[in-house]
Amino acid sequence: MTSAVNTVRIGSGAGFAGDRIDSAVDLVRGGALDDLVLECLAERTIALAHSRRRVDPSRGYDLYAEERFRALLPEAIPRGVRILSNLGAANPLAAGRLAVQVAEDIGLACRVAVVTGDDVLALIDQEAPALEDGKPLSSHGQIVSANAYLGADSLLPGLRADADVVITGRVADPSLFVAPLIDRFGWDPADESMMAAATLAGHLLECGTQVSGGYFADPGYKSVPRLEAVGLPFADIARDGTMIIGKLDGTGGLIDRRTVREQLLYELGDPGAYTTPDVILDVYSVALGEVGPDRVHVSGAAGRRRPDELKVSVGYRAGFRGEAEISYAGLGCVDRARLAGEIVAERIRRSGIDPRIDLIGTLDAPNSMSHGECRLRVAAKTASSDHAQHITREVEALYLNGPAGGGGVRTTVTDVIGILSTFIDRNDVTPQTEILETS
Amino acid sequence: MRTVHLREIAHTRAGDKGDTAILSVFPLDDRHYGWLATHLTADRVKDYLADYISGEVTRYEVPSICGLQFVCTHALDGGVTTSLALDSHGKSLSSRLLGLRIAAPV
């Protein structure tokens, strides 16, 4: 794009699949954004999405995709705010078609770029060792999905085709932010300093409000004003790679040195080697400065050459999980919950399953123990859905066949998808872009 | 020696990667960073959270932001996707850690 730009403002419109939508609408309305990124894909989310796609080939994208498009397209497109999102999950093309359909429904002209090529199930060696334990991938269970983490380069063709919306599947979270910065500043993807700066911006924003006061408040120790109205963050990134993290005036939440540094180290292993498809980021020299209310200046990202291999997230069928809980209250509640746990465990062990037993609740008194409450939780992994049901039925049976005063049974049976990791040569992965348009 | 809960002098955040829990610790008052770095060792964290962490704890020091990063392997009952723990992400480990007693800064 233009090289005259000196600052780019990117907003975070979602930090996970279940994130709130209202605050993203506020940010687009009042934020004077250039780009809005919706990060909606955790490690396991995409494997679950593959399961949905197998049931219905027209599905497999984010469950809230339509709701997000309906709320955000009419705000973003007329303002020229581009949307980039990995909410395509296991079916980016279907999500792209959905975006076009929503735009047509509300009478907007819209160009959508769909990025595919992350699905590498047909390309991986299922006998290769899993990164987690060195055992062959296939030995863990039936493999149901394999998605490579694509980098920022995979989004560039769509941006250069002037797309209003870019939909991807598995892309490294920060890469969703790196791509528009490459595009708007004309940065060279081989420039490690700039890729490091852009990746740092992405890392700070990718979890939404976790940098602006969410996941932070601890009454009496760390106060956050008006957390109920916590605002999503944006970053003003300068051409030199420095940035200011901020949020809309009038929103709740907090951005200061503490919230930013908590997010800076969040989920980093070695702070000197945060590896993405775009760069290896080193945050050891990052400096933070409070430059105004809810404004923190960030500088000092360093980078090394991107890796030759891409990480692949592999989903496998890991059986079922049966979970159930029951409450006991008042004097002796802990003793009764413990007794219930012992007898239900013994009943379940007769079928060869060893359950996990937890006691949850008011175990010692903020109030007096006579008003205390304790919840017994029983959980087990099983090979079949029937066995998982058996766990939950034994807990339910405690109503009549357990200690006194058991109530409030809740049960859940979950089809468990496990996640493993492996690597694939970058040259074996070919990202593709398809452009869809409203008619 | 007077001790205090870690909560009185530090703030923490938890994250996860597979079966690894990542705990970030910062002083509430940056002047206490050196004190924290001396007293909050990897071994102390591993001992205090021994019920949860069955692997190793590696500590990284990031003095530019007064941060200590504890990377704890085999800490999430096999990983978030297959864990039987109620908090399968280990999100609450950061608050648990704040209950550790540490020598009061002088």
Q: Could you report the per-residue pLDDT of A48-78, keeping only the tens digit for each?
A: 898 899 899 999 999 999 999 999 999 999 9
Q: How far apart are CA A398 and CA B28, in angstroms?
A: 47
Do the chains contact at B80 and A381, CB–CB below 8 Å?
no
Within 8 A of B80 by CB-CB distance, chain A residues are 43-44
Average pLDDT over residues A99-103: 98
Q: Residue B34: what pLDDT?
A: 98
The model's confidence at residue A424, banded by pLDDT at 50, 70 and 90, is: very high
Continuous segment of H or E residues that includes residue A53? helix A45-55
Q: Residue A366: what pLDDT?
A: 42
How far, in Å, are A136, A144, A193, A262, A300 from residue A241 at the CA level? 42, 40, 8, 21, 9
Mean pLDDT, chain B, whole residue set: 95
Question: Which residue would you say has higher pLDDT here, B82 or A263?
Answer: A263
pTM, rounded to two decimals = 0.95
Do the chains contact at B18 and A381, CB–CB below 8 Å?
no
Domain ranges of chain A: 7-124+144-313+423-437, 317-421
How do beta strands A111-116 and A165-167 pair? parallel
The share of chain A scoring above pLDDT 90, in percent, equals 91
SS3 A118: coil
Please state the ipTM of this predicted complex. Answer: 0.97
Q: Which residues of A touch B (CB under 8 A)?
A: 43-44, 47, 132, 215-216, 218, 221-222, 257-258, 261-272, 283-288, 300, 318, 321, 323, 356, 358, 360, 377, 379-381, 416-419, 421
The answer to whether residue A368 scores a pLDDT higher than 60 is no
Q: Residue A3: what pLDDT?
A: 56
Fold that domain A317-421 belongs to in CATH? Alpha-Beta Plaits (3.30.70)
Within 8 A of B71 by CB-CB distance, chain A residues are 269-270
Q: How far apart are CA B60 and CA B62, in angstroms?
A: 7
Question: Nearest CB to B64: which of A266, A287, A356?
Answer: A287
Cβ contact A123:A424 at 8 Å: yes
Ordered structural domains, chain B, with CATH: 3-103 (3.30.70)
Q: Could you report the per-residue pLDDT of A166-182, keeping only the tens digit for each?
A: 999 999 999 999 999 99
Cβ contact A193:A279 at 8 Å: no
Do the chains contact at B62 and A43, CB–CB below 8 Å?
no
Mean pLDDT, chain A, whole residue set: 95
Average pLDDT over residues A334-355: 96
Average pLDDT over residues A118-132: 95
Q: Residue A43: what pLDDT?
A: 81
Do the chains contact at B64 and A300, CB–CB below 8 Å?
yes
Q: Could you report the per-residue pLDDT of A261-277, keeping only the tens digit for each?
A: 999 999 999 999 999 99
Do the chains contact at B22 and A267, CB–CB below 8 Å?
yes
Q: Residue A369: what pLDDT?
A: 60
Average pLDDT over residues A351-373: 78
Question: Nearest CB to B81: which of A44, A264, A358?
Answer: A44
Do the chains contact at B20 and A269, CB–CB below 8 Å?
yes
Do the chains contact at A44 and B62, CB–CB below 8 Å?
no
Cβ contact A75:A28 at 8 Å: yes
Residue with the two structure tokens 């999500």: A95
Q: How far apart are CA A317 and CA A74, in angstroms?
A: 40
Average pLDDT over residues A86-91: 97
Average pLDDT over residues A218-227: 97
Do the chains contact at A261 and B67, CB–CB below 8 Å?
yes
**Which amino acid does the sequence have at A374?**
C
Cβ contact B48:B63 at 8 Å: no
The model's confidence at residue A362, banded by pLDDT at 50, 70 and 90, is: low
**Which of the residue ranges A219-228, A340-349, B71-80 would you say has the lowest mean pLDDT?**
B71-80
Cβ contact A87:A56 at 8 Å: no
Q: Residue A364: what pLDDT?
A: 58
Q: Could you report the per-residue pLDDT of B1-41, keeping only the tens digit for each?
A: 899 999 999 999 999 988 999 999 999 999 999 999 999 99
Continuous segment of H or E residues that includes residue A30? helix A22-30
Which of B17, B28, B84, B86 is the best residue to mutate to test the A interface, defined by the most A CB atoms within 10 Å of its own CB? B84
Q: Residue A51: what pLDDT?
A: 86
Q: Could you report the per-residue pLDDT of A147-170, keeping only the tens digit for each?
A: 999 999 999 999 999 999 999 999
